[in-house]
Amino acid sequence: MYSSSREEVVGVFDAFEADLDRALQLSFDALTTPSTAAEPISARQSSRRAEMAALSYARARCSGYGTASARPHYAHAMAETSYAKCGDLSLAYQVFGDGPVELVFVGPMVTHIELFWTLPEFKAFFDQLATFCRVLLFDKAGVGLSDPIPKVRLLEDRAAEIEAVMDAVGFAKAAVFGMSEGGPQAIMFAAKRPERTRALILYGSFAALPGASWDDLDRDPAELRARLVPELGDDYTPSTKQIGRMQEMVRGARSGWGSGATAKWWFPSVRSVRQLGMVERMCASPGMLRATMESSLRIDVRPVLPTLSAPTLVINAREDLMPVQCGRYLADHIPGARWLEVDGAEHAPWFTEPDKILTAIEEFLTGSHAAPAQSHRALRTVLFTDIVASTQHAAATGDERWRAVLHRFGEITAEFTQRFGGTVVKSTGDGHLATFDGPTQAIRCAEALRADAETLGIEIRAGIHTGECELLDADIGGLAVHIAARILGHAGAGEILVSRTVRDLVVGSGTGFEDRGSVELRGVPGTWQLLAVERDGARVGSAEAELASMPTPGRRAAMRRSDRAVEVIARRTPWILRGMARLAPATGRR
């Protein structure tokens, strides 16, 4: 075995890292040295020459470190990267493993499915997971190897990405494993598509991060905690120290992405901050990171948790930067969820007691627990519309003409509902009941209906709510339907009134809202905050307007030439970088 002292290992690692830099420099030389051929070489040939120079040098030098037993061994090569269509975007994905359970991993804010395989811990974790699962990894739109995006993605867009990659590989019903920011996206998918969700696994995740907004970054942590306790309760409110750490991390991410300092907060045992900086730059640009992080800070899926029907396992590390209280909240508010709390401070399951976590996941997915009954309930957005003063209109225009107006409005409703991906459930006499997969489509449909109704000389009002619905043969039922109907009753002429749940699920859509206060809805427990959709979108200068217009450049805008050379090595010979990582001593991992 390799048994040298820690100092010798550090020396070997530093020598390896220096030689890798030399390999990268050779790739630059290959790109910039003039060709001696009669004809200039093409960009593709030049790039190929750079790859071969870097790889040849790295292979040659790598063989000189440690002993044969110290060099990396691997069960199989990295899976091939393919692309799935999601609307106009292409999503990079990999699928591997021979297990009987289909599992899709929904990663954190930033990923790179090829670069991550250079981490020995990541490879070991997913190699083991692949012994009992057929695993699907993907980079979300805007990060890693997937297409860049023009603006921040909505929560419902992210849920659609999960379905797109599942469709691409033929997964009919999968276990959905959401890590960190991927947790709310996995929750949204499981609520909308219960028939395609075998189980739900959440690691280091959250339903909401109240008190973590940009506006709260410079506030006193003790003051923030005091404000949050009445809303969350003492058991679910992070400590003053935890809030302070989160504030410091977010401030650093906003100003110093690409240096490695942000990733160091999440993965404190990784030795090289320089390598972490390279990972940051290769996964996402600073603009993309900031837009995604701000969106995450404002998302709130707490109202969705009671609607989940899939078996759920929630895991959190006790000292993770993501407060363990967030995981406890998830476990306590998802029906029947299991809770696993592990020791450690790392924000990734492959760094924190991976054997314990893998054992729990395997038992959870392959154990003898009975499969849940086929669900006939799912998360839907319910839209009610109603023509204002219909009786007076009928009296003024006459029955025949009024019937023609109603018929035309019905045609418009069917047309727009279909255009925005919804379903007209039924007519309510002077209006309609329609359902949508997501709240943004429902709002856009209501806006279009309002505009066209005005051309017919009528005004409508609309009520929208997102919640669990009972899916009947040709109808829909459940408390969410009643809530949407009651919200409609509070709407004025020309108003589109929504619940706070809807507002919290359309962060980044550019929709503006005006608070209408909290009311009691007849026959519905509690008080409900209602908001009116503003006609001209989010007000200039508002947090929503800034988020919706925030640029999200592709990651290459922030990558260095050395990052691109490492990306080549990661794709073609990831074992080289795994070897470097194996020689790096861990610092403080538990």
pTM of the model: 0.78
Final residue before a domain boundary, out of 317, 343, 375: 375
Quote the domain boundaries for residue 397: 377-549
Write the CB contacts of 352 (distance below 8 Å, at least 6 apart in sequence). Answer: 317, 320, 342, 343, 344, 345, 346, 590
Q: Is 567 helix (H, G, I), strand (E, B) or coil?
A: helix
Chain-centroid distance, C-alpha 560: 26
CA-closest candidate to residue 550, choices 513, 515, 507, 514: 507
CA-closest candidate to residue 295, choices 214, 357, 224: 214
CA angle, residues 86, 91, 92, in degrees to nearest 5: 155
Q: How many CB atoms lie within 10 A of CB 244?
A: 16
Q: How many CB atoms lie within 10 A of CB 56?
A: 12
- DSSP for 199-264 reads EEEEES--SB-TT-SGGGTTS-HHHHHHHHHHHH-GGGSPPHHHHHHHHHHHHHHHHHTTSSHHHH
Q: Do residues 235 and 328 lie in contact, with contact meaning Cβ atoms separated by under 8 Å?
A: yes
Q: Is 53 helix (H, G, I), strand (E, B) or coil?
A: helix
Write the CB contacts of 532 (distance below 8 Å, at least 6 apart in sequence). Answer: 491, 495, 496, 497, 498, 513, 514, 516
Q: Do 195 and 314 lie in a common domain? A: yes
Q: Do residues 501 and 303 lie in contact, with contact meaning Cβ atoms separated by under 8 Å?
A: yes
Final residue before a domain boundary, out of 356, 375, 394: 375
CA 118 – CA 20 distance, rounded (Å): 14
CA 228 – CA 242 distance, rounded (Å): 13
Write the CB contacts of 409 (distance below 8 Å, at least 6 apart in sequence). Answer: 387, 453, 456, 458
CA-closest candidate to residue 104, choices 90, 93, 120: 93
pLDDT of res. 560: 77
Q: How many CB atoms lie within 10 A of CB 113?
A: 22
**Does residue 581 lie in a domain region?**
no
On the CB side of 293, CA atoms within 13 Å amount to 22
pLDDT of res. 214: 67
**Does residue 545 lie in a domain region?**
yes
Query: Cα dihedral sign for 328, 329, 333, 335?
Result: negative
Q: Do 216 and 321 lie in a common domain? A: yes
Beta-strand relationship, 174-179 and 197-203: parallel
CA 138 – CA 57 distance, rounded (Å): 31
Query: Cα dihedral sign for 47, 48, 53, 58?
Result: positive
Name the token pair of 409.
């409005």
Q: Do 332 and 347 lie in a common domain? A: yes
**Does residue 477 lie in a domain region?**
yes
CATH classification at residue 289: 3.40.50.1820
Q: Using only C-alpha atoms, what is the Rg of the chain? A: 27
Burial class (CB in 10 A: 0-12, 13-18, 19+), 412: middle
Q: Do 331 and 428 lie in a common domain? A: no
CA 194 – CA 547 distance, rounded (Å): 30
Q: Do 263 and 363 lie in a common domain? A: yes
The per-residue pLDDT for range 40-77, each reduced to its tens digit, is 444 444 444 444 444 444 444 444 433 333 333 334 46
Q: Do 177 and 245 lie in a common domain? A: yes
Q: H-helix or E-strand containing 162?
A: helix 155-169
Q: How many residues does the chain have?
A: 590
CA 494 – CA 156 distance, rounded (Å): 26
CATH classification at residue 460: 3.30.70.1230
Q: Do 307 and 384 lie in a common domain? A: no
pLDDT of res. 563: 75
Q: Do 318 and 220 lie in a common domain? A: yes
Final residue before a domain boundary, out of 375, 398, 414: 375
**Does residue 2 lie in a domain region?**
no
The per-residue pLDDT for range 513-564, each reduced to its tens digit, is 999 999 999 888 889 999 999 999 989 988 888 888 887 877 777 777 777 7
**Does residue 73 lie in a domain region?**
no
Q: Is 281 helix (H, G, I), strand (E, B) or coil?
A: helix
Q: Do 354 and 451 lie in a common domain? A: no
How far is the CA of 355 from the CAs of 179, 327, 328, in angstroms?
A: 17, 20, 21
Write the CB contacts of 345 (distance below 8 Å, at least 6 apart in sequence). Answer: 268, 269, 317, 318, 319, 320, 321, 352, 588, 590
Q: Do 406 and 344 lie in a common domain? A: no
Number of domains in the chain: 2
Q: Do 171 and 202 lie in a common domain? A: yes
Beta-strand relationship, 527-533 and 460-471: unpaired
**Does residue 584 lie in a domain region?**
no
Q: Do 325 and 418 lie in a common domain? A: no
Helix ranges (DSSP H) in 3-42:
6-32
**Does residue 518 lie in a domain region?**
yes
CA 73 – CA 67 distance, rounded (Å): 13
pLDDT of res. 51: 47
Q: Do residues 79 and 105 lie in contact, with contact meaning Cβ atoms separated by under 8 Å?
A: no
Q: Going residue by residue through the chain (590 aa), what tens digit of pLDDT does each one get?
A: 344 444 444 444 455 455 555 544 444 444 444 444 444 444 444 444 444 444 444 444 444 433 333 333 334 468 899 999 999 999 999 999 989 999 999 999 989 999 889 888 999 999 999 999 999 999 999 999 999 998 889 999 999 999 999 999 999 999 999 999 999 999 999 999 999 999 999 999 999 987 666 677 788 999 999 989 998 999 999 999 999 988 888 888 888 888 888 888 888 888 778 888 888 888 888 888 888 888 888 889 999 999 999 999 999 999 999 999 999 999 999 999 999 999 999 999 999 899 999 999 999 999 844 344 445 788 999 999 999 988 888 888 888 888 898 999 999 999 999 999 999 999 988 899 999 999 999 999 999 999 999 988 899 999 999 999 988 878 898 999 999 999 999 999 999 999 999 999 999 899 999 999 999 998 888 899 999 999 999 899 888 888 888 878 777 777 777 777 777 777 666 666 666 565 554 555 54
**Does residue 88 lie in a domain region?**
no
How far is the CA of 10 from the CAs of 19, 260, 272, in angstroms?
A: 14, 20, 11
Write the CB contacts of 191 (distance below 8 Å, at least 6 apart in sequence). Answer: 304, 307, 308, 378, 379, 468
